[in-house]
Amino acid sequence: MTGFFRSRTQIAVLLLSLAVVALTPIFGNLYHLHLVSLIAVYWVLISTLTLLVGYTGPISIGHAGLLAIGAYAYTILTSKFGWNGYVAIPSAAAMCGLCGLILGLPSLRLPGFYFALTTIAFSLIVGENLLAWGGLTGGGTGLMVPSLPGLFASPRALYWLCIAAAVLASLFCYNLARTMWGRNMIAVRDSEIAAQSVGISPLRTKLTIFMLAGFFAGLAGALYALLQNYILPENFHFDLSLFFFISIIIGGRGELLGPFLGAVVLTLLPEVMGSLAQYATLIYGVVLLLVVLMLPRGLGPMLRGAFASNKGTGEHAEEPDTERLKALLVGGKS
Amino acid sequence: MLAPLVTGLALGGLYAMTAIIYNVMFSSSKVLSLTTGHMLMIGGVAGAWAISVLGLHPMLGIALAVIIGGAFGGFTEVVAVRRTLARPDDHLWLLSTLALATIVQQCVALWWGTEPRPFPKLLPVDGTGYLHQRYWLPVLAAILMAVAVELFSRRTTVGKSLRALSEDELAARARGMDTGRLRLFSYVLAGALGAIAGLAAGQITFAYYALGLSLTLNGFVALALGGIGSNSGALIGGLILGLITAFGTHFFGGEFQNTISIGVLILFLIIRPQGLLGSAKLRQV
């Protein structure tokens, strides 16, 4: 029941992703390669952000700030301090994990709104400081990113590195979500008091997951810098945080598959829209509003419902089955 | 030392007004709307558009901006708040107000442009240097707004009903109050107050589309400093934050403005999470 191949949708998405990943280096040009790598890098960040927002509950709208710190940490460590790239990537990730700790410790103790606003503020002050510390970060002119030495120097090799990171993040999230930690997270999301009564510390759970999300955001940031070759503060605009966040809400909270599809669609959307790309953020806003008002559980459960071979597998569902409940209640009355 | 003091007070007035507007909406719905800063932004942009572009008399321009602001406040309630409060999920309003704030900001950016545009002089009063109306108008407006909101909620029937609603919604409804209409009213009021605040501070902020998010943020810091739900706390918190920001900018440079205010917030959350004048019971479980 709870195996990985739980439904046909999951198998279909998995096979399709594998096909795209395997065929792009053979048939695609460098632009296609870049796009798939970008989706993979975003997914490294979004998958762990899903653990936080979708499973544990706190709403982080400032993940572009963490991505920026990862990217700049990697670039500065390699270019200004001459570190080896393979040491700099985990260092950048660790630095972001530490940022998660510093940011989460005061704000996660308070009601959700404080955390949400602290993360928004964080992404704004990261942008501000990137411009302010021009000597270190290059300010508005940005920084050239040194490519990795040795094996992963070429774009094609880097593609496989990004894919490997995405697979690693997926496995990590999938395993964490279905084991005891995942149950803890869902318990904290659904009722902190109930979670406390069975011996789960909400703050500890939330803080750990936020640190993990920070760590993977840093990893994604380092890979993002490598992919872009050149980083600017504008790359990490607030709209990017919104983009990560909306992928998860559209996909559905408490899901992994939905946010994955959300990330794919939202990454490709500005690319296929061409001259309409200036409306991208507006469209994100409209989509978010519609999803929140009409489908608060996101599109994930709907997808599953359309293809599922075994109905009622909503083990991470947020709401009771209101339709059936309503039918029962109405039936009982008459 | 006079320069940071004067700009700090003016900024403080702006932040205090934002915090009061948060309170007006919070009292009726327990929602801290992310569109709060955008209400001020819309007021400022609408005022600049009416006075500078349409060439209306400043008083007519102010009236038009207040009407537009009130309409936006009502729109926020109808679109983003009403339906999310009816659902059991926590913090759904956070997402819907974020979405609405994004939509509004992008629409203004597309229509008005992404460059800050100058804001016209509002009052036919002369004053140069630090006596220029751009410095004292926000402070005066903030104090008047705090007094007016307090008087309104203590002396008038509607105000008292709103207070009853904020104490206990079920009891208020049992007493025959139309809580839905009261909540809509409080949002229209918040939008109109937002427009007034945006107009009063327009000469220091300019008419700028991206103002909304940073005001939402700084207004919240002021609110958290003073304590959520307290208007006098909002006034004090706003002025403290404005002064800290202005002196910080004076000593460290303008590029650290948000960093300083967020530093204040984080420090404060560690030391006194309920705010200066707030009560500890607001920390919901």
Do the strands A143-144 and A230-231 form a parallel or antiparallel pair, or are they unpaired? antiparallel
**The pLDDT of residue A54 is above 60:** yes
* CA–CA distance, B65 with B176 (Å, rounded to integer): 34
Q: How many CB atoms lie within 10 A of CB A334?
A: 4
- Record: contact A116-B89, CB cut-off 8 A: no
Q: Give the closest-approach CA distance of B225 to chain A in angstroms.
A: 12
Which residues of chain A neighbour B213 with C-beta distances below 8 Å? 120, 124, 238
What is the band of A255 on the pLDDT scale with cuts at 50, 70, 90?
confident
* CA–CA distance, B91 with B30 (Å, rounded to integer): 10
Whether residue A193 lies within 8 A of chain B, CB to CB, comes out as yes
**The pLDDT of residue A116 is above 60:** yes
Retrieve residue B227's tokens: 């304590």
DSSP state of A165: H
* CA–CA distance, B275 with B227 (Å, rounded to integer): 4
How many domains are contained in chain B?
A: 1
| Mean pLDDT across A162-169 | 92
**The pLDDT of residue A10 is above 80:** no
- Record: contact B262-A292, CB cut-off 8 A: no
Whether residue A111 lies within 8 A of chain B, CB to CB, comes out as yes
Which residues of chain B neighbour A293 with C-beta distances below 8 Å? 79, 83-84, 96
Q: Provide the residue range defining the domain that includes B57.
A: 7-211
Whether residue B274 lies within 8 A of chain A, CB to CB, comes out as no
| Mean pLDDT across A194-218 | 91
Which residues of chain A neighbour B280 with C-beta distances below 8 Å? none
Q: Give the closest-approach CA distance of A7 to chain B in angstroms.
A: 27
Mean pLDDT for chain B? 88
Interface probe, candidates A125, A133, A234, chain B, greatest B C-beta count within 10 A: A125
Name residue B207's beta-bridge partners: B117
- Record: contact B214-A124, CB cut-off 8 A: yes
Is A314 strand, coil or helix?
A: coil
In a domain, B90, yes or no: yes
What is the band of A266 on the pLDDT scale with cuts at 50, 70, 90?
confident
Q: Which of B92, B220, B265 sits opposite A292 (nearest CB)?
A: B92
In a domain, B261, yes or no: no
- In the prediction, which pLDDT does B43 show? 92
| Mean pLDDT across A223-230 | 91
**The pLDDT of residue A58 is above 80:** yes
In a domain, B2, yes or no: no
Which residues of chain A neighbour B284 with C-beta distances below 8 Å? 111
* CA–CA distance, A62 with B235 (Å, rounded to integer): 28
Which residues of chain B neighbour A112 with C-beta distances below 8 Å? 90-91, 94
The DSSP-derived string for A242-278 is HHHHHHHHHH-TT-SHHHHHHHHHHHHHHHHHGGGGG
* CA–CA distance, A129 with A134 (Å, rounded to integer): 9
Q: Give the closest-approach CA distance of A227 to chain B in angstroms.
A: 28
Whether residue A276 lies within 8 A of chain B, CB to CB, comes out as no
- In the prediction, which pLDDT does B284 show? 46
Helix axes B257-271, A85-107, angle to 10 degrees: 60
- In the prediction, which pLDDT does B196 show? 94
What is the band of A155 on the pLDDT scale with cuts at 50, 70, 90?
confident
Average pLDDT by consecutive 10-residue portion of chain B (285 residues)? Answer: 88 94 91 92 92 89 94 94 81 88 92 86 77 86 93 92 89 90 94 94 86 90 88 92 90 82 81 72 45
- In the prediction, which pLDDT does B19 show? 95
Higher pLDDT, A272 or B39: B39
Whether residue B190 lies within 8 A of chain A, CB to CB, comes out as no
Q: How many CB atoms lie within 10 A of CB B175?
A: 12
Q: Are the CB atoms for A100 and A171 separated by under 8 Å?
A: no
Q: Is the ipTM of this complex over 0.90?
A: no
Please name the residues in contact with A114: beta carbons below 8 A apart, sequence gap of 6 or more.
A107, B224, B269
- Record: contact B103-A109, CB cut-off 8 A: no
| Radius of gyration for chain A, computed over Cα atoms and rounded to the nearest angstrom | 20
Which residues of chain B neighbour A318 with C-beta distances below 8 Å? 89
* CA–CA distance, B240 with B11 (Å, rounded to integer): 10
* CA–CA distance, B125 with B134 (Å, rounded to integer): 11
Q: Give the closest-approach CA distance of A13 to chain B in angstroms.
A: 28
In a domain, B45, yes or no: yes
Which residues of chain A neighbour B32 with C-beta distances below 8 Å? 113
* CA–CA distance, A155 with A240 (Å, rounded to integer): 23
Q: Are the CB atoms for A212 and A93 separated by under 8 Å?
A: no
Retrieve residue A173's tokens: 């999230």
Q: Which of residues 200-239 of B touch A (CB under 8 A)?
A: 213-214, 216-217, 220, 224
- In the prediction, which pLDDT does A6 show? 58
Burial of B80: CB neighbours in 10 Å, binned 0-12, 13-18, 19+: buried
Retrieve residue B213's tokens: 């998010």
CATH class of A8-333: mainly alpha
Is A315 strand, coil or helix?
A: coil
**Domain extents in chain A:** 8-333
Mean pLDDT for chain A? 83
Q: How many CB atoms lie within 10 A of CB B263?
A: 16
How does pLDDT run across A239-252, given as a tens digit for each residue?
888 888 888 888 88
Interface probe, candidates A293, A295, A319, chain B, greatest B C-beta count within 10 A: A293
**The pLDDT of residue A303 is above 70:** no
In chain A, % of residues over pLDDT 70: 89
